[in-house]
Chain A
Amino acid sequence: MIERKRWTVGELTRYVRQLFETDYRLQDVEVEGEVSDIRMPGSGHAYFTLKDAEAQLRCVMWRSDVANQVYLPQQGDRVLVRGRMGVYDVQGQYQLYTQRIQPAGQGDLHAQFERLKAKLQAEGLFDADRKRPLPPLPRVIGVATSASTAALQDVLNVLRRRYPLAQIVLAPTVVQGDQAPPQIVAALNALNNQSDVEVILLVRGGGSLEDLWCFNDERVARAVENSRLPVISGVGHEIDFTLADFAADLRAPTPSAAAELVTPITAADLAGHIEALRQQLAGHLQQTVDSRRRVLQEAGYQLRQASPRGRIDNLRQRIDGLAGRVEQAARQQTALRRAALQGTRRALDAISPMKTLARGYAIVQGADGQVLRDADDAAPGSALHIRLYRGRLSATVDRQETDHD
């Protein structure tokens, strides 16, 4: 019986590594593939996977080589890589130690994606005017994703923090592989059949291009576009764009972001709004009370204005004014009269009988005081009073001589 050699894991791994290192063909290889799962941690080294339809190849590029690269590949890029094959003992993995990467045209999947995208775009599936408005305060939010995944937990955490008023209806579906497209379509239909659901989140956590591929399925894109309810997509990471994203009413870069976009108004915003309304209420009450108080003050002022005291004061003043005017008018009238009197006196003097009497005429009056002009008026024997220029005489009529014709 031949003694079989017993290896330790380390020994066997080292042996395999030596096989790689002694095969000259593996020490300088060029390989074409699609970049997937590229990571560049703080160390500065780059780790990625090259893929094609059949296989995957782990690659590492040390920091010093990364520094020489003008072009840094992104997820999905079709590249031509040059390096040497080796084994990483610690993880028992063979990998390509990459010295140079250059673009090699676009990957097959990418070309397929672009063709389908162009077709759906031509049909108008992605048109801006087909995007529906989102409910500002959704009461029931549908979520189509895989149950018990980090993506779902992210969504629930964000919603719990931002908007715990909401009710979530989960439509579970696988979000990877061949079964995913029909299941996603079914989940969207199921949510659309719920009468109370107002908006749908279609989400999935990050993954490789292949992992996310179901969201580029034509059936999924069409189901998103045909959805009765508005759909917010949040698939993969910021850099991942899928056809479902283009067909959605709103594209979120991640599941968490989708949960934020579906709740534009948070519970904290609402609490602030209600506090503001409270203050407005109090303000209006205060305003009403103030305005009534002003009316009251105004009425009091007007009442005082209407008081008879003021009127009496006014009248008193008016009377004072009138009295002054009366006095002045009287003074004026007196002066006028005095002047008139002097005039009259002068006129009177001019026609006074005294002047006539001085010339020797006399005025004869009867007993009754009547001035006599006719002899008939004084019977013989009656008394006469005769007025001279100076003094008076009393006489008796002796005889009458009339001048009758």
Chain B
Amino acid sequence: MTDESLTFEAALEELESIVSQLEAGDMTLDQTIQLFERGQELAARCETILSEAELRLETLQTSAGGTYSRISMTDETGDE
């Protein structure tokens, strides 16, 4: 199974690389099947991330000393 921490970008990149490897040919049937299965997992991972994606919003707040910290907007409204 694919790693749950795999980001969308990383999964997509690997998936695209697998498809180009397959395109280049010169694979044994076993290798092809292995790449196909990995590709299917990665596609499923990408689709999961896409369907579960929710826009995250953070606000920059000035702290003492002029540095900025980030406050998640949903957390902030929850506190108030």
Known contacts A170-B60, A271-B47, A281-B39, A159 near B55 by CB under 8 Å: yes
Contact status B40-A274, CB under 8 Å: no
| Interface members, chain A 309-331 (any B CB < 8 Å) | none
Known contacts A139-B9, A281-B22, A284-B22, A171 near B60 by CB under 8 Å: yes
Q: Which A residues lie within 8 Å of B35 (CB)?
A: 281
The answer for the CA separation of A190 and B70 in the assembled complex, in Å, is 11
Interface stretch among A45-53, A161-169, A247-255? A161-169
Known contacts A271-B47, A274-B15, A292-B29, A168 near B56 by CB under 8 Å: yes
Known contacts A165-B8, A165-B49, A190-B68, A285 near B60 by CB under 8 Å: no
In-complex Cβ contact of B60 among A169, A284, A292 (8 A): A169
Q: Which of A170, A274, A289 has the most CB of B within 10 A?
A: A274
- Convert B14-54 into 0s and 1s, putting 1 for each residue whose CB lies closer than 8 angstroms to a CB of A: 01101100110001010011011001100100110110011
Q: Which A residues lie within 8 Å of B58 (CB)?
A: 167-170
Say yes or no: is B64 at the interface (Cβ < 8 Å to chain A).
Answer: no
Q: Which B residues lie within 8 Å of A274 (CB)?
A: 12, 15, 43, 46-47, 50
Q: Which of A281, A282, A292 has the most CB of B within 10 A?
A: A281
The answer for the CA separation of A166 and B55 in the assembled complex, in Å, is 6
Known contacts A274-B43, A277-B15, A284-B19, A289 near B29 by CB under 8 Å: yes
Contact status B29-A284, CB under 8 Å: no
Contact status B33-A172, CB under 8 Å: no
Say yes or no: is A357 at the interface (Cβ < 8 Å to chain B).
Answer: no
Q: Which B residues lie within 8 Å of A139 (CB)?
A: 9
| Interface members, chain A 143-194 (any B CB < 8 Å) | 147, 156, 159-160, 164-172, 187, 190-191, 193-194
Shortest distance from the beta carbon of A80 to any chain B beta carbon, whole Å: 47
Q: Which A residues lie within 8 Å of B47 (CB)?
A: 271, 274
Shortest distance from the beta carbon of B20 to any chain A beta carbon, whole Å: 10
Contact status B54-A285, CB under 8 Å: no
In-complex Cβ contact of A285 among B15, B33, B59 (8 A): B33
Q: Which B residues lie within 8 Å of A281 (CB)?
A: 18-19, 22, 35-36, 39-40, 43
Say yes or no: is A341 at the interface (Cβ < 8 Å to chain B).
Answer: no
In-complex Cβ contact of B36 among A137, A160, A167, A284 (8 A): A284
The 10 closest A-B pairs by CB, nearest first: A284-B22, A164-B53, A281-B39, A288-B32, A167-B56, A285-B36, A160-B55, A170-B59, A165-B53, A168-B57
